[in-house]
Chain A
Amino acid sequence: MTAIAHRYEFVYLFDVTNGNPNGDPDAGNLPRLDPETNRGLVTDVALKRKIRNFVTLDKEGGPGYAIYMQEKAVLNNQHKRAYDALEIKPEDKKLPKDEARAREVTAWMCANFFDVRTFGAVMTTGVNAGQVRGPVQLGFATSIEPVLPLEISITRMAVTTEKEAEAQSGDNRTMGRKHILPYGLYRAHGFVSAKLAERTGFSGDDLQLLWRALINMFEHDRSAARGEMAARKLIVFEHQSAMGDAPAHVLFDTVRVARATDEDRPARSFADYRISVDAEALPRGVGVREYL
């Protein structure tokens, strides 16, 4: 497993129809909003959670693809995982023992856990070697246009407790609420550092798995709250060198998302947007590829 040798940046577009992509615990689970612009937000950690869940389903905890940060919901792999024992030799014998030990621990975690290798993890050790900085970094996803959350009231033809039933004298009904966005197209930016990948052993296969996860993760994340979510575009910039050949923001600026239909009317589907990549404006040494 050789680490990747190029720096990457990616633009990831996904949309939601009649659903809540990411609830805000501060606002009673309303979809997250940027209060100043009314644009929707999806946090980086929400996307990472879905990537982890996809990898769990895809690899079923195969050797090297265990997931450290787990949700119970995806713990259907109770079988003992096949596992290849690693013989790790500390690279430098001259280091003090505890640091070498910490490195060994870190290396073992990276080799066995996809999410540690990809996103990093914090391990408490006396020396400061127990922190893994992962090569993959995601920013917050922001909706292209302001979104308007709707509050939908729903009824349930049942109650939870006897007491409630008595209070309603047998008319067993309760009301609930759902928050949805009629439509929202979100854009997230991501970064993959080849130099940090060297340290964690994040390989080309891992990168392909990451792209696959981004493309397919909503297909395995259906729920009553989410509505219809779909990955719409994954545009990847590959630099020739490990350090990169252009500023990330310059690359991101080449991807434009514009309205294809009348801007005064609210967008309700992906067809209302037009995505263009200005390949002319790409700096030398940077390739662009649309994976989706």
Chain B
Amino acid sequence: MSDKTVSQSPNLSRRSLLKAGLATGVAAGAVGTARAGGDPLITEIQDWNRYLGEGVQARPYGMPSEYEAHVVRRDVEWLTASTESSINFTPLHELDGIITPNGICFERHHGGIAEINPADHRLMINGLVDTPLVFTMEDLKRFPRENRVYFLECAANSGMEWRGSQLNGCQYTHGMVHCVVYTGVPLKLLLEEAGIKTNAKWVMPEGADASAMTRSIPMEKALDDCLVAFKMNGEALRPEQGYPLRMVVPGWEGNMWVKWLRRIEVGDEPWHQREETSKYTDLLENGKARRFTWVMDPKSVITNPSPQAPISHGKGPLVISGVAWSGNGRITRVDVSLDGGRNWKTARIDGPSLPKAMHRFYLDIDWDGSDLLLQSRAMDEHGYYQPTKNELRVSRGENSIYHNNGIQTWHVKADGTVENVEVS
């Protein structure tokens, strides 16, 4: 099996990944010990070395190399009744750094993707304000704007894992998260433009899509760091991310980041909408439920190696890489265990360390080829650190659905394959 065949496979399986890993391993070995006559990729002139490639305008909006065609969002069909109210997953195991490319940021819709011409889009602010207002997109782009890097994590990320290991790959267990640079107007400025009344305590963003998503947000948060954003990673929002306008609610559960934002109501009480009563409330073992669990707590996952990214190169130097984030602020430390949490080493955080943003960590080890039980444990600037799944279950039971930030374990086997497991 050539690498190219694997790369273009539309539905990479664990088995084909394993084959790919082994094939690559063999190839790498061949390079490691030069064969007689030399490597033909070096000794023979290659096509790309002889013939001209495509010209500058062949790709007006560039796409990744065809050899990266497997780096895509994936869904799990059995999770939901309909693709229009469903979820897909960011391929975390294929990414590095802290920024998620726009085209593979996970999607979560409740009524499909609304396709809106920005010229037809309006934002209304009404309720407990001095002057209810209507803005066009052009109006919004005349306000002073900010650029901020934030992670956006679905409240249900890892939710399928409450009862134990279920999905085999960090794309599926942890991929309802992305992290981009948002450009937008502070919500505070828009509220000040309308003039909020003294009894105003809550705001409620509402989407223009067929689900008309609504959530109650306390005024303190609205005036603190919320944005009304129109760009991500420098370009307009993607339709599936709320084009032309979305809420940015830093550190808080993704559901509140209302897409296709068309209205913000100001009120004195929360509205108790469907997405903050029936959904996004966290049922505990005693039958009672938490409401308004907004913050996404400190969390991390090792993205490589992981079930979709087995070790293909054999023993020796191994880069353990992963991501960590906390809705409370900066990540100050990530510890990594090779033995299922008995002993820990502090990993190296590389790249920007920004509040409520993804952080990249690395631990470089010399793998002796023995089984590993890999774990990572994030700590944030407020001293909160990531609990084990069992600690969470002791406090909450197994029916909370949302807010599973428990420590993930990967079992690395001698052949380099990796499996999602639970440990004692």
The answer to whether A and B assemble together is: no
Identify the A interface with B (CB < 8 A): none
Identify the B interface with A (CB < 8 A): none
